[in-house]
Amino acid sequence: MEFTAQQIADFIKGTVEGDPSVKVNNFSKIEEGKPGTLSFLSNPKYSHYIYDSNASIILVNKDFEPERSIKATLIRVENAYESLAFLMSVVERAKPAKTGISSLASIHSTATISENVYIEAFVNISEGVKIGKNVQIFASTNVGENVTIGDNVILYAGVSIYKDCVIGANCILHSGVVIGSDGFGFAPAEDGTYKKIPQMGNVVLEEDVEIGANTTVDRATMGSTMIRRGVKLDNLIQVAHNVEIGENTVMASQSGVSGSSKIGKHCMIGGQVGFAGHIHIADSTIIGAQSGVPNSIKDPGQMFMGYPAIPLKTFHRAAIVQKNLPDLQRTVYELQRKLQEMEKRLNDK
């Protein structure tokens, strides 16, 4: 399907600059823009690409001020990245949804399956499972006993959901995700061995959660590991037992959250961040990549980085000092040498 710049602008409440009749039928990155495609500019680092881009339409923020002429038709919006995401979502939803259940799927007779569900080959649906409307389950996924899956959920190939877990509406779980595996609970015995503590809880994902490939969320020892509404977890993340992650928090790849820690709402967690167990992170906290968080963060809206994680301004000052350590060391050695010479002169006198 093709859309004109004016049609798109009307749809996203934007303003056209250039030819309102120019048409597009696909998307492209601004540095690889092709005729007949729509692109966007939101990061100032990419501004130089806009002047030579061959994209037919480019979304820009309202405050964007070009330094020279631009070939493409512009659509000015409040937030170019958000508008692009919205348009791409609309296009994705317009694609016809798959339906039907493969004869090679294994579905227990007690499972309840709602309408317009798509289930591919080699999927296993266990006893007592409840599956909502418009759910898509791709090949080799396993859904354990008494799992509940809400409407419009997508489970990509190879997802594993253990017994008793709850997946809320509109969730997306990518390939290799494991929900509800045992928490890391072992009690040390007098003979030096470790005795397994049964993990008797579950995992609850609220609505609109998306979890990236090969991420794992462990079931609670008792109660529930909670992933609240709107949380987005990247690939290769480990969430331990009895953790709670607050609404609309986002976490980048290779981060890990130790058992019973609570992360607040609207937090932004960089890649490879590690959280100690049994700590609390305040709402709207931002933590830079590769940080280690051994203690609770009590005040909301702060930015932290480093190990141990410290306020960002303090981290920047410390980084400058660290960079200058070789020079400081030479200065100290020189002062020591001069002090020794002065002491020797005094002793000689």
The set of catalytic residues is 241
Nearest to 274 by CA among 305, 228, 234, 230: 305
CA–CA separation, 249 and 261 (whole Å):
14
Nearest to 50 by CA among 63, 61, 37, 41: 41
Q: Which residues contact 104 (CB under 8 A, 6 or more apart)?
A: 121, 122
Per the listing, tokens 């929900």 go with: 179
Distances (CA, A) of 313 to 27, 131, 280, 303, 320: 39, 49, 22, 8, 11
User: CB–CB of 92/77 below 8 Å?
Assistant: no
CA–CA separation, 237 and 254 (whole Å):
5
Structure tokens given for 78: 């409040």
CA–CA separation, 162 and 205 (whole Å):
13
